[in-house]
Structure 1
Amino acid sequence: MPWTNTKLEFGAVAKIFHWTSAAAFIAAYAVVYYVIWFMDDTAPEVLPVLNIHWVLDMIVGLSVLPRLLWRLVNVQPDQPHASHAEAWLAESAHWGLYGLLILMPLTGYIGTDAPTDFGLFALPSFRETALFGWMESQWGITWEGFEPPVDAVHHFVGKWIAWVVVALHVAAALFHHVVRRDGVLTRMLPGRSVA
């Protein structure tokens, strides 16, 4: 399998970005729903579990920029024959997914008042950063005024929008695979190559 994309398939780097983001995104959801359904979110033992969610969010968030750059410098595989409306919907859906992969980790990070511990190092909470200190001094923003709306956006998008966007993406991939049989899904599967 080539490292870069071709007109027929995605290369290994694009596949690694795709499946790493997908796995981290789904795992982050599994962890946070475990907390919601099975833990007392005010208990101190919830923080190490939430830290796993935050680490996974950071993996998603920090992989978006290199993933977008890789997409921009690489050839994209040809789209199957589709109407202009279908092509526009597919492109819009992909950019919507990228927006989601930016918005969720960003609002999660800037709305959390705890460091994210990666084991070898910790990422300070947004409240402890120079940027928030500058916002506080320049605009008179307090954490108590800043955090609730950011947290509300994160939870609303996570609860009501993210699932819909991801479900549509999965449904479209399955539609191409089962109904159209046009290879759209298989060209993104790990280890697959048309060569």
Structure 2
Amino acid sequence: MSVSGDLAAAPLHPLTRAIHWFTVLAIVVLFIAVLVGADLEDPAQKKPLIAVHQSLGLSVLLLNGLRLLWRWRMPLRSLIADPLKRRIGHANHLLVYTLLAAQPLLGWLYVSARGREVALWGLPLPALIAKDRELAEQVHDWHALGGWLLLALVGLHAAAALYHHYVLRDGVLRRMLTGRP
């Protein structure tokens, strides 16, 4: 698997890298908040974790929109020469981006259906729908399933990055870390 000279020299914009690494950090904190919160009985202890979970999730939604606009404006040039592996990588990215948009929207829909307020860093947001306990339970299940699917896809993405770095030594991970392959 080779990398053509012009692609190998293509730098990665700092905004692209910043959005990527903030999203990674946000996903880690989102999962920690959920896992820690699941073991808490006291609503007063859960409330700040829920607030962080909501705000980070909605921040990821906004950043995902910014990322897509940025990718449209500044398309990434793939370092992957093999067409099949490039298509697999693109499919993984598409699924991750879809879940990065769907998860916060499902969470917002769930909280709205529970009849509770959604806030983005303390700023209240309007409910997406009226209170509906039955729908809330269904949406919660979808949100939970989507979270585990997102975690699996992110794990696959990370494993692929490590494979590129340690086995193929093609500069893909180095490009995301430093901006240059």
Percent identity at matched positions?
26
Partner of 2:180: 194
Q: 2:16 aligns with which of 5, 14, 17?
A: 14
Partner of 1:118: 121
Q: Distance in 1 between matches of 2:66 and 2:94?
A: 15
For 1:12-61, what per-residue CA distance to the aligned partner results, in whole angstroms no more than 9, with x for missing partners?
11111111111111111111111113x11x63431222111111111111
Q: Which secondary structure state, in structure 2, belongs to the residue aligned with residue 107 of structure 1?
A: helix
State the shift of 1:92 in Å: 0.4
Q: Distance in 1 between matches of 2:81 and 2:44?
A: 54
Distance 1:76 1:68, change over 3 A: same
Contact persistence 1:7–1:78 (CA under 8 A):
no
| TM-score scaled by length of structure 2 | 0.85
Structure 1: where are the runs of 5+ without partners? Answer: 1-5, 134-141
Q: Distance in 1 between matches of 2:51 and 2:180?
A: 40
Structure 2: where are the runs of 5+ without partners? Answer: 1-7
Q: 1:175 aligns with which of 156, 159, 163?
A: 163
Partner of 1:67: 67
Instruction: Count matched residues.
Output: 170
Distance 1:117 1:89, change over 3 A: closer
Q: 2:147 aligns with which of 158, 168, 173?
A: 158
Q: 4+ residue runs of structure 1 moved beyond 4 angstroms?
A: none
Q: Distance in 2 between matches of 1:78 and 1:35?
A: 39
Partner of 1:138: none
Letter in structure 1 aligned against 2:95: G
Contact persistence 1:107–1:153 (CA under 8 A):
yes
Distance 1:155 1:193, change over 3 A: closer
Distance 1:193 1:63, change over 3 A: closer
Contact persistence 1:35–1:46 (CA under 8 A):
yes
TM alignment of 1:39-188, pairs within 5 A: 39-40=40-41, 43-82=43-82, 84-112=83-111, 113-116=116-119, 118-119=121-122, 121-124=123-126, 126=127, 129=128, 132=129, 143-159=132-148, 161-188=149-176
Contact persistence 2:61–2:104 (CA under 8 A):
yes
| TM-score scaled by length of structure 1 | 0.79
State the shift of 1:122 in Å: 2.5
